[in-house]
Structures are given as structure tokens and as C-alpha cells.
Amino acid sequence: MELLTPRLTLREFRETDFASFRELEAHPATYHYESACPDETATRKYLENALADARQTPRTRYRFAVTIRPAEEVRGRVTLALLNDSIREWEIGWAIHPDEWGKGFAVEAAQRLLEFAFTDLGAHRVVAFSHAQNTASLRVMQELGMQQDGLLRETRSWRGAWSDEVVFSILEREWR
Ligand SMILES: CC(C)(COP(=O)(O)OP(=O)(O)OC[C@H]1O[C@@H](n2cnc3c(N)ncnc32)[C@H](O)[C@@H]1OP(=O)(O)O)[C@@H](O)C(=O)NCCC(=O)NCCS
């Protein structure tokens, strides 16, 4: 399946995506707020898992490649995963290739994914977790109309110290 935005296509990953996806995953800036960059094996595993997710029924995880039309190569990824079925809660995530930052692509892709979550998947809540100092990601959450649920103290080991994490959410009625 695929979802369209004015400039982007969010589509299932393909086996042939490895080279362009690896460019995103191997870029140090993409993983600045994570403990480490994934190695090649981890990137291959991610692709394999993404292909497996697409075959799931019922589907509880969507990992979409973000492409900038008319190009076909991967310039980002967005994810939606069922976190708590009993309250229809899904988790959203995003990464855009650093060469494309600041063009509004993350917000554009995530807005489409929220629409998909609330209208097609019947989500009640969508949540996002972020390193507390990841200002770009915080801005994306705010732009989407998400609100901070809380601060998880020292849940991340980062650059030899503990870091806090924030949890943001948006409810179906807020989205509508
Ligand atoms: C977070 C990320 C996806 C944002 O992508 P993007 O396409 O540049 O975001 P957008 O262009 O849609 O910008 C959204 C907002 O963030 C702001 N922003 C973007 N980069 C920023 C930065 N480095 N510092 C502060 N604000 C920033 C933009 O100005 C915009 O705010 P505005 O509408 O008030 O101007 C991107 O920085 C990224 O891929 N980071 C690495 C992966 C990552 O951290 N993922 C999130 C894990 S929780």
C-alpha cells in the first residue's frame, strides 16, 4: 500500500531499497540522539522486517519508505506500530535524510500517517517518544498538534550519561 501527500509518497519498502535506505541509516546525523548507528546487518534486518510487516494480517506495524516524487529512492522512513490494543493506541516515528531537513517533509509525512491512523486504523491515541533534547523532533510533534504527556527521567543511555525522554500524544478528537 502507499499513502500520498502533496510532495511525498509513503510506500512499502522493497528489496531494491537497500542502497538508498542505507544512506539514511548510515548517516551519523540520523542517529545523533540514539546510542549508535545501525551497522549494515541491522539495516538489512530492518528491511527484512519491514517486508514481513507488509504481509501481516491483521497488521500491527507499518514501516513506510518516504520518497520525494518523482524520485523513487528512499529519503526517509515513517513508522506506525500498535502499542496497546485495548486502548487503540499506536506509536508513530520518523526520520528524514539530513540533506532534506528543514523542508517540512517530516511534518508532511507524519500528518498523512496520523490521518491514516485515525481514519483507517481507528486509533484513539497516537504517541511519540523522543530524546528530550531532540529539538527538531519536538518541533515536529508540536507542529502536528501533539501535546506532552510526560517526561521519562533518565530512560536513555546517551554519550556516556543518562538522558531524559519525552512522550507526546494526540487524541482522535483533537485530530478531528
Ligand atoms: C526530526 C526530523 C525527522 C525532522 O525532519 P524535517 O523534515 O527536517 O522536519 P520539518 O522540515 O518537517 O520541520 C518541522 C519543524 O522542525 C523544525 N526543525 C527542523 N530541524 C530542526 C533543528 N535541527 N532544530 C530546531 N528545529 C528544527 C522546523 O523548522 C519546523 O518547525 P517550524 O514549522 O516551526 O519551522 C529530522 O531532524 C530527523 O530525521 N532527525 C533524525 C532522526 C530523528 O531524530 N528522528 C526522531 C526520533 S524521536
Question: Per residue in 100-148, pLDDT tens?
Answer: 999 999 999 999 999 999 999 999 999 999 999 999 999 999 999 999 9
pLDDT in tens, 139-169: 999 999 999 999 999 999 998 999 999 999 9
Q: Determine the pLDDT at residue 35.
A: 84
Q: Which of 68, 101, 168 to mutate to test the pocket of ligand 1 (most atoms within 8 A of CB)?
A: 101
130 C-beta closer than 6 A to ligand 1:
yes
Report pLDDT for 50: 97
Q: Which residue from 74, 79, 91, 94 has its CB within 8 A of the most atoms of ligand 1, so it is best to mutate?
A: 94
Helical ranges in 13-155 per DSSP H: 18-25, 40-54, 105-115, 135-143
Pick 89 or 36 by higher pLDDT. 89
For residues 90 and 18, give the distance between their C-alpha atoms in angstroms, rounded to a whole number. 27
pLDDT at 36: 86
pLDDT at 150: 98
Strands (E), the chain: 2-4, 8-12, 61-68, 76-84, 89-96, 125-131, 147-158, 161-171
**Mode of pairing for the β-strands spanning 8-12 and 61-68:** antiparallel
Alpha-helical (H) ranges within 100-164 are: 105-115, 135-143
Residues 6+ apart with CB under 8 A from 2: 9, 10, 11, 12, 64
Q: What is the pLDDT of residues 22-76, one digit of tens each?
A: 999 999 999 999 988 999 999 999 999 999 999 999 999 999 999 999 999 999 9
Residues 6+ apart with CB under 8 A from 43: 18, 21, 22, 25, 26
Q: CA triplet 11, 81, 99: central angle to 5 degrees?
A: 50
CA-nearest residue, atom 37 of ligand 1: 136
Ligand 1 close to Cβ of residue 143 (< 6 A): yes
Crossing angle between the packed helical segments 135-143 and 105-115, to the nearest 10 degrees = 50
Please state the pTM of the whole predicted model. Answer: 0.95
- Residue 113 has what pLDDT? 98
